[in-house]
Amino acid sequence: MRPRDKWFNLALRDCPAALENIDFWRQSNLEPMVVDVVLVQRPVNWDYASSSPKVAFEQNFLSKDRFPVVWKSDSDEFGCDGHSEKVIERWIMRYESKKGCKEGSSGNKRSSTITSHALYKKSILLLRSLYVTVRLLPAYKIFREINSSGQIRSFSLVHRVSSSVEPLVRRDEAEMQQFTFTPVDTSCGKLCISLSYLPSISDTTSESSTPMSPQFITDYVGSPLADPLKRLLSASLPQYSPSSPFGRRHSWSYDTRMASPPSALPSPSPTYSESRTLHSKFGSHRPPISSRYSSLEPAQVHTKDTGYDEYFPSPNFSPSPSPSPPVGSNMLKVLLRSDSAPVYIPASRLGDAPLYSNKTVLPFSPPLQATRPSLSLVERSLSIPTTAGKLLSLRGEETARPSGVKISLNSSPHKSSSRSFSRLSFENSYDDSEFSGPFVVDDDDTIDPGSRPGSSDRSGNLGMQHECVRSQDAAVGALVQMLKKAPPLQQDLNRSQYVSKTSRPEKSSNQILDHPPHASSNVSSFSRVSGIKTTSDAMEELKGYLDVKQI
């Protein structure tokens, strides 16, 4: 450390930037030295990269005899539009000379020496106070903040050294506090240092450090808003209609939702609550989820049914107190369930019945194994020696009739009713092999190859022998059609005899069929199947007809 760095017993390093601009005062000029610390604020869209550090030197002519010097040190580009400057500190140093005092006057050396020691001591004390004071001012915090973080901020500090005191803005001047250091007396004058500073400048620089107020994030990962798939699934949730007991109605509504842009986060809707009521009707025993949607729909939490959760899994953000399975497994279950129970969509019905267009929204569809024999039985019962057109027409009538009647009669628990849903849906949709498609049931266990349409010659008897669940209306319709288009008696008699000889009765469900060895029993099975008054009348007529044939 050089000796000059130890002046006033304060070991400091040089500051070249400060030393360069005080030459004016080195020339023993008695002009005051005014140092302004300016806070420069740039606009929000200020481009830091476009600016470059600059040091500008200006000369201002205030009077003829004086050439005050104004030096500016700025890290910004001068003339930057939009930036504002605010003087936050002003240091004024001046030497006030005494009148009538002559410099270098001869005097008592001892007194001058003492004076020099005292002067030096007081100067040391002054500088110590100055050193500490600078670090207690608000500008020092800004200085440290700028230098500590590598962030590009919208404000910066600059200093200006001038020999004139520029008037401040009235408002700023009123806000500033004053502090005057004790002057250091010399033989011919005194050195005075005064300070004006803004006591609080936090409002100016708080824009970069103001923490955000806590806010709820509604579209983070896992929420329906963030995940489009979940949004679609959750958006379709309110579309459940109580008037559509079939899953197909739901799928239809789901399809329409798919066609249209999905709505925003589904808010609690009447349909949503009604659909939940629907499930409760059928005895849903699943425990309700309490807080899956607690953050979104707190009013609905306590009534939410877990059944919906399986198809429209809740977001992951809200904890669920109920021991419900995780979301991913729910979705997997839905997909697996859908895949395990494909729906055969007959081509003729795709336009008529959008109910059957989507396989995924059969909420309670069990596997098809139990229902497939019934499909074949339906086919066989209808493929009585008639033309193929008859079959198609019969099928068309079947599908036209709502199969929801069976639901109303079925008071069994939830799952059994769902089976009936699926059975009806499948028996109405299942058709001949000519309607094969990607959803054709292809299970050897459930479909007897012998019951294929190709063996329809024996279907008159075989159809009765297989397990078959038909709607009563469909059976009546089929019977009426059969009666209307029955072949001549002689031909029918021959056929029936042939069928009774060659066909072998197979097991059938007790619910529907019996297996009489003769043809008349075949007819009576139909009567059992129908079991209504109008059908019984028809059966009696048929019986009479057959008796006539035999005669």
Contact residues for other proteins, defined by CB under 8 A: 6, 9-12, 117, 121-122, 124-126, 128-129, 131-133, 135-136, 140-141, 144, 181-182
Nearer to other proteins, 67 or 143 (CB): 143
- Least CB distance from residue 217 to other proteins, whole Å? 24
Nearer to other proteins, 3 or 438 (CB): 3
- Least CB distance from residue 75 to other proteins, whole Å? 23
Nearer to other proteins, 184 or 334 (CB): 184
- Least CB distance from residue 131 to other proteins, whole Å? 6
Q: Which residue has the tokens 């000029």?
A: 29
- Least CB distance from residue 179 to other proteins, whole Å? 8
- Least CB distance from residue 1 to other proteins, whole Å? 8
Nearer to other proteins, 98 or 135 (CB): 135
User: Which residues does 113 contact at the CB level (< 8 Å), separation at least 6?
Assistant: none
Q: What's the sign of the alpha-carbon dihedral 346, 351, 353, 354? A: positive
Q: Which residue has the tokens 């297996």?
A: 515
- Beta strand ranges found along 11-83 (DSSP E): 33-41, 54-59, 69-74
Nearer to other proteins, 54 or 135 (CB): 135
Nearer to other proteins, 147 or 490 (CB): 147
DSSP state string for 98-140: PTT--TT----HHHHHHHHHHHHHHHHHHHHHHHHHHTTSHHH
Angle, CA of 8, 10 and 14, to the nearest 5°: 105
- Least CB distance from residue 125 to other proteins, whole Å? 6
Start-end of H helices in 410-532: 414-429, 459-465, 472-484, 489-502, 519-530
Cβ neighbour number for residue 281 with a 10 Å cutoff: 12
Nearer to other proteins, 155 or 197 (CB): 197
Largest CA distance in the chain: 167
Closest of 311, 186, 291, 192 to residue 247, by C-alpha: 311
Nearer to other proteins, 140 or 498 (CB): 140
φ, ψ for residue 279, nearest 5 deg: -65, -35
- Least CB distance from residue 139 to other proteins, whole Å? 12
Nearer to other proteins, 60 or 200 (CB): 200
Q: Is 86 helix (H, G, I), strand (E, B) or coil?
A: strand
- Least CB distance from residue 21 to other proteins, whole Å? 23
- Element at 270 (helix H, strand E): helix 270-281
50 burial class (0-12, 13-18, 19+ CB within 10 angstroms)? exposed
Nearer to other proteins, 195 or 482 (CB): 195
Start-end of H helices in 21-104: 23-26
- Least CB distance from residue 182 to other proteins, whole Å? 4
- Least CB distance from residue 181 to other proteins, whole Å? 6
Q: Is 25 helix (H, G, I), strand (E, B) or coil?
A: helix
Distance of CA 280 to the CA centre of its chain: 29
Residues 240, 272 contacting (CB under 8 angstroms):
yes
Nearer to other proteins, 129 or 295 (CB): 129
Residues making up the chain, counted from first to last: 551
- Beta strand ranges found along 44-100 (DSSP E): 54-59, 69-74, 84-97
- Least CB distance from residue 249 to other proteins, whole Å? 56
- Least CB distance from residue 200 to other proteins, whole Å? 11
Residues 517, 500 contacting (CB under 8 angstroms):
yes
Nearer to other proteins, 180 or 340 (CB): 180
436 burial class (0-12, 13-18, 19+ CB within 10 angstroms)? middle
φ, ψ for residue 185, nearest 5 deg: -75, 140
